[in-house]
Amino acid sequence: MSQLGKGRVIFHVDMNSFYASVEAAFDPSLRNKPLAIAGNPKERKGIIVTCSYEARAYGVKTTMSVWEAKKICPQLIVKPPNFDRYKKASKAMFDLLRTYSKIVEPVSIDEGYIDVTDVIEHPLTLAKNIQKKLLDELLLPCSIGIAPNKFLAKMASNMKKPLGITVLRKRDMKEKLWPLSVGKMHGVGEKTEEKLHSIGIFTIGDLARGNDIQLENILGINGKRLKKRANGIDNRPVDPNSIFDFKSVGNSTTLPYDLNNEEEIKGVLNKLSESVSIRLKRKEVLMTKIALTIRYKNRQTITRSLKLDNPTDEKKKIYEKAIYLFQKHWNGEFIRLLGITGQDVIERKEAFKQLDIFSFEKDAQQEPLHEALLKIKEKYGDNSIKRGLNQLEGKEMNETSFNKDFLQDHD
């Protein structure tokens, strides 16, 4: 294989069947066996969150109920999720990647980009070494995409699983990428796919040749961005600091007259919650923290915030938390201004919900696995790597929100 040229060389490292692989790394008896992770494995209605490739060979799929999976694969081993264990494994994985290049950008608990442009070793040899080291040291398999930019690297890593290494150059796109369904393109969700179908775009090649005006009409500025990606254009750098790029979405209103009637105030908070929810959805982001601002008649202003158990853009949840903060901190005086802000927002597709056993099945049914469960902004650090994941079992993991943990490890 020839070098990728004088341009950038970007790897996308995507761990294979991460949760199941981590469980097998901790318990050797699970290796090479059909294994599934489910919200409540003791109940027949429990939902499969992820499964090993051995299980997939029998037809077991994510979001399938446990009883359905057991029906087609009676020998299936089903275990509950262990999020602390997955966090520790993720941390170890990224620590290892940083030994090859300092330009590492984590994008979820089980995937990230590495800029290896300045690494002397041949890209294909380097990818093989990284893949082997992850497997030897942590007992975790991965697939690696090699490309001149992040988009193509991401698409490449999906082309061969498990333990795949795929090179995707711009000149390969017409043959390897353009014939694929547009729904298989990174960044194209179900709703976007439907909109593209409505204007006759069914493949990535169709999108690459799409009409700019039509695309902008149905997708806004995202239409042009997706067309550029479909043509292999992506100038985004691999940014290790992107984990700190937290934003906020909020709305406030100066009241037409000063209020101290709680029911009227609740009505204002309800409207503000709706406005913030609409803006979050429009931007396709979720808030992980809520802040309430109260300005009193005497212009004294207070802002109180609360970390959310799970990221959200739902009006009802925003309103409930806003009311909680209001009732806890309002001093009873007349109010001049109210504001609600969603803070530490994250992209919807990158969101990871730390599900408990009571919401697991419901959430798994509502969203595809990789959208609902395998995307997280999570902890990474600089601890040394030891052979096998059992070395990490004894280390403490803070029970704080994932955004806080994520930042603390990069201080």
**Mean pLDDT, range 28-35, rounded to an integer:** 96
Known catalytic residues are: 111
Please tell me the predicted confidence (pLDDT) of residue 40: 64
Domain spans of the chain, in order of start: 1-170, 180-230, 246-350
Please tell me the predicted confidence (pLDDT) of residue 371: 41
Residues in CB range of 188: below 8 A, 6 or more apart? 182, 196, 226
User: What is the length of the chain?
Assistant: 411
Q: 158 in helix, strand or coil?
A: coil
pLDDT at 347 over 90: no
Highest mean pLDDT of the ranges 73-87, 192-206, 276-290, 291-305? 192-206
Please tell me the predicted confidence (pLDDT) of residue 373: 40
pLDDT at 361 over 60: no
> What is the full DSSP assignment across 193-230?
HHHHHHTT--BHHHHHT--HHHHHHHHTHHHHHHHHHH
Please tell me the predicted confidence (pLDDT) of residue 392: 46
Q: At what angle do helices 83-97 and 18-26 cross, to 10 degrees?
A: 100
- Separation of alpha carbons 96 and 130, rounded Å: 9
Mean per-residue pLDDT over the chain, rounded: 83
* Per-residue pLDDT tens over the stretch 275-285: 999 988 887 78
pLDDT at 368 over 50: no
pLDDT at 379 over 90: no
10 Å CB burial of residue 397 (0-12, 13-18, 19+) is: middle
Please tell me the predicted confidence (pLDDT) of residue 285: 82
Using an 8 Å Cβ cutoff, are 49 and 81 in contact?
Answer: yes
Please tell me the predicted confidence (pLDDT) of residue 93: 95
Tokens encoding 63: 């979001």
What is the CATH topology of the domain spanning 180-230? DNA polymerase; domain 1 (1.10.150)
* Per-residue pLDDT tens over the stretch 113-169: 999 999 999 999 999 999 999 999 999 999 999 999 999 999 999 999 999 999 999
Tokens encoding 158: 């999906």
Residues in CB range of 2: below 8 A, 6 or more apart? none
pLDDT at 45 over 80: no
- Separation of alpha carbons 263 and 323, rounded Å: 11
Q: Which helix (H) or strand (E) holds 359?
A: none
Tokens encoding 92: 């170890």
pLDDT at 336 over 50: yes
From 3.90.550.10, 2.60.120.260, 3.30.1490.100, 3.40.30.10, which CATH number describes the 246-350 domain?
3.30.1490.100
180-230 matches 1-170 in CATH topology:
no
Cα 40 versus chain centre, distance: 23
Using an 8 Å Cβ cutoff, are 287 and 379 in contact?
Answer: no
Tokens encoding 212: 């700019």
* Per-residue pLDDT tens over the stretch 56-97: 999 999 888 888 999 999 999 999 888 889 889 999 999 999
Of 311, 309, 292, 310, nearest to 301 by C-alpha is 292
> What is the full DSSP assignment across 286-333?
EEEEEEEEEEETT--EEEEEEEEEEEE--HHHHHHHHHHHHHHH--SS
From 1.10.150.650, 3.30.70.270, 3.50.50.60, 3.30.710.10, which CATH number describes the 1-170 domain?
3.30.70.270
Tell me which amino acid residue 1 is: M
Please tell me the predicted confidence (pLDDT) of residue 55: 96
The residue among 353 and 208 whose pLDDT is bigger is: 208
Please tell me the predicted confidence (pLDDT) of residue 262: 94
* Per-residue pLDDT tens over the stretch 209-247: 999 999 999 988 889 999 999 999 999 999 887 765 556
Using an 8 Å Cβ cutoff, are 104 and 97 in contact?
Answer: yes
Other CB atoms within a 10 A radius of the CB of residue 355 amount to 20
Please tell me the predicted confidence (pLDDT) of residue 284: 78
Please tell me the predicted confidence (pLDDT) of residue 309: 84
Residues in CB range of 105: below 8 A, 6 or more apart? 112, 113, 114, 238, 239, 240, 242, 243
- Separation of alpha carbons 384 and 273, rounded Å: 45
- Separation of alpha carbons 289 and 245, rounded Å: 15
What ranges make up the beta strands (E) of 125-263?
Answer: 142-147, 165-167, 247-259
Other CB atoms within a 10 A radius of the CB of residue 16 amount to 20
Q: 363 in helix, strand or coil?
A: helix
